[in-house]
A and B are shown apart, each in its own frame.
Chain A
């Protein structure tokens, strides 16, 4: 009997059969199962009951009749979905914003971590880290409040600068040409510093002897960054990238909800905000649940594929 098993049993078990032993374990630890009860109720009620609620995506759901009393329509909602120009636009916006965020914002924290690693003045390093981690802890409502303020066409800082340089003020948050850029920029402003942390930790885990050996061989600091630090971070970079791809369809629902307005629906409406508008705004419950299911299913698929890639190339599972 292992040590771990000793700790779990209330009384030493003498049963020879494994079935009997398992039963003894259960009976001897009934209070363990009692401890699990609140978490289990939570899991079933708030996680699995909504999954059952997905059934309304296959119905013409009537809120007064409930799931049992509503009419089944099969895949009708999904047919509507793929023929909806609005949905296709929303999908396009989601993918575009997400891809911008990945292509532009994924590499910056890596470079940032490399840069911070080269800083030898600890006071400077700590000060910069303290400043750039801060926005991570602020809600999107506050961040949007800040940027709506400084991007405002009437008296906002950015437009005052544009005006003083002789340009025309730009209404960044109400013009479709600008809205996505603002979304990507503000997401970067909030999270770039924070996202560097895992990479900083990855560099810290690299064996210092490698740097010493390279220095003896005459490698300069840039050479060391490229030939030692970067390859040393590679497993972390790949893992983070796989996880990032897993949330491809999450283009920043909460962020966009706090920033957008009907003038920029064409460029800024993404799956999350669309589900919210269709479901709670127009009370088209079945259709918006179908959109939500599409979202969850693709997300699930991406994570499963990501995990397969992670197992194959990094020999480690995401979960």
Chain B
């Protein structure tokens, strides 16, 4: 009996220590970069900033979040995320509803066509040439339209619709309601949780998307946040992203750190919702396979 207790104690120690270390390892880069963004310039240059700020100033942060380029990029990202998410939700639901009716002729074949695109795609270059042909280069539509329907999300919504009791629709049918009325008036109001989940999937996708903007956007007035951030992070010389009189006395390293932190904040603000709904979503996905 005693030996077992000691064993349990040792096991608990190992588990708690491992998990704590993992948590700290996750926080460490944030702590370091946050410290840099609020430390004094001389301390950053001298490499003295660890996880605790040396000195304290908010000038760098203020400079970053009030810079017109940053705010503009933030606006573009928000615009794409909001419009993209709404459009995606609408088209995803409109596609999933008919496909959830197995007896409707043609749905089986269509589902196969959709699923096939999860396994095989044209690849980067044919996609790029298509966007070019459609004259969508340097058009925010290029960030939304190619991602309008995620087949995975559509299948999640479809299986949710299939799980609703048919009696919901029957009485409306008997009163002569059309299918689209049933979808928008009866089905969608009952689909709050699943729409919230995949809405967040879409929103995070649009917000974090870096690949499509990099391919399709080169006009600086249309750059979303991720592209702007990449310019700042990758260019050792920050001046290319900031105009000359903006620069004044702001340290490049501090600006880069503060830009990374400022770009993280929008996600942090919605993180409680993300955690709640994403876990649901990921489990729906894995259960349905």
A: residues with CB less than 8 A from B are: 2-10, 22, 25-26, 29, 31-36, 38-40, 42-43, 45-54, 56, 63, 112, 115-116, 118-119, 124, 127-128, 130-135, 137-142, 144-150, 154-157, 159-160, 163, 189, 192-194, 197-198, 201, 220-222, 236, 239, 253-254, 257-258, 261, 272, 275-276, 279-280, 285, 288-289, 292-293, 295-297, 299-300, 303-304, 316-319
14 extra interchain contacts, Cβ-Cβ under 8 A, other than A53-B122, A139-B210? A35-B179, A42-B149, A43-B117, A63-B129, A118-B15, A119-B19, A139-B209, A145-B33, A155-B47, A201-B283, A222-B7, A257-B210, A288-B125, A296-B123
Question: Contact at B173–A279, with CB atoms within 8 Å?
Answer: no
Which residue of chain B has the shortest Cβ distance to A26 in the bound complex? Answer: B105
B30 is an interface residue with CB less than 8 A from chain A: yes
**Contacting residue for A279 out of B11, B106, B124, B208, CB 8 A:** B124
Question: Contact at B124–A272, with CB atoms within 8 Å?
Answer: yes
B249 is an interface residue with CB less than 8 A from chain A: no
Question: Contact at B110–A32, with CB atoms within 8 Å?
Answer: no
**Contacting residue for A146 out of B33, B121, B275, CB 8 A:** B33
Distance to closest chain B CB from A136 (angstroms): 8
28 A/B residue pairs, CB under 8 Å, sorted by A: A4-B166, A7-B173, A8-B104, A29-B98, A36-B99, A53-B130, A56-B125, A124-B16, A128-B20, A131-B23, A137-B208, A137-B278, A138-B264, A139-B208, A141-B233, A145-B263, A149-B32, A149-B33, A149-B253, A150-B28, A154-B47, A155-B45, A197-B279, A201-B283, A221-B7, A222-B7, A258-B234, A319-B289
Task: Tell whether A258 pairs with B210 under 8 Å between CB atoms, given A10-B173, A51-B120, A280-B128.
Answer: yes
Question: Contact at B23–A54, with CB atoms within 8 Å?
Answer: no
Please report the C-alpha to C-alpha distance between residue A127 and residue B21 in the assembled complex, in whole angstroms.
13
Which residue of chain A has the shortest Cβ distance to B45 in the bound complex? Answer: A155
For the complex, would chain A's binding face be called helix, strand, loop or mixed by DSSP majority? helix
